[in-house]
Amino acid sequence: MKEQLEILLELQRIDNIIEEEEKRGRELPLKLERIKQEIAELQNYLESKKKIIKDLQIKLSRKELDLSEKSNKIMKHQEDLYGGKITDIKELRQLQSIIETYKEEKRSIEDNLLDLMVEIEDSKKEVDALEEKLFKQKEYLNKCQQEINLSIAQIKERINYNCDLRKKILEKITDSHLLNEYKLLKRVKEGSAIIEVNEPICPGCYLNLPSDTVYQLKKAEIVITCPNCNRILVWKE
pLDDT, residue 173, reads 92
Longest dimension (CA), the chain: 129
Look up residue 207 and give its DSSP letter. Answer: P
For residue 63, which amino acid is it?
A: K
Task: Report, as an integer, the average pLDDT of 165-171.
Answer: 95
User: What is the pTM for the complete model shown?
Assistant: 0.68
Cα 48 to chain center, whole Å?
Answer: 21
What type of residue sits at position 47? Answer: E
| Residue ranges of the chain assigned to CATH 1.10.287.1490 | 2-174
Average of per-residue pLDDT values in the chain: 92
Task: Collect all residues with Cβ–Cβ distance below 8 Å to 154 and sequence separation of at least 6.
Answer: none
φ/ψ of 227, rounded to 5, equals -65, -20
Given a cut of 80, is residue 147 above it in pLDDT? yes
User: Could you tell me which residues come within 8 angstroms of residue 20 by beta carbon, excluding any fewer than 6 positions away?
Assistant: none
Instruction: Give domain 2-174's CATH number out of 1.10.287.1490, 2.60.120.200, 3.30.310.50, 3.40.190.10.
Output: 1.10.287.1490
pLDDT per position as a tens digit, 83-116: 877 778 888 889 889 999 999 999 999 999 999 9
pLDDT bracket for residue 159 (50, 70, 90): very high
Report whether pLDDT(190) > 90: no
Among 20-24, 85-89, 194-198, 230-234, which stretch is predicted with the lowest mean pLDDT? 85-89
Per-residue confidence (pLDDT) for residue 188, from 0 to 100: 87
Predicted confidence at residue 106, as pLDDT, reads 94
What's the pLDDT at 16?
93
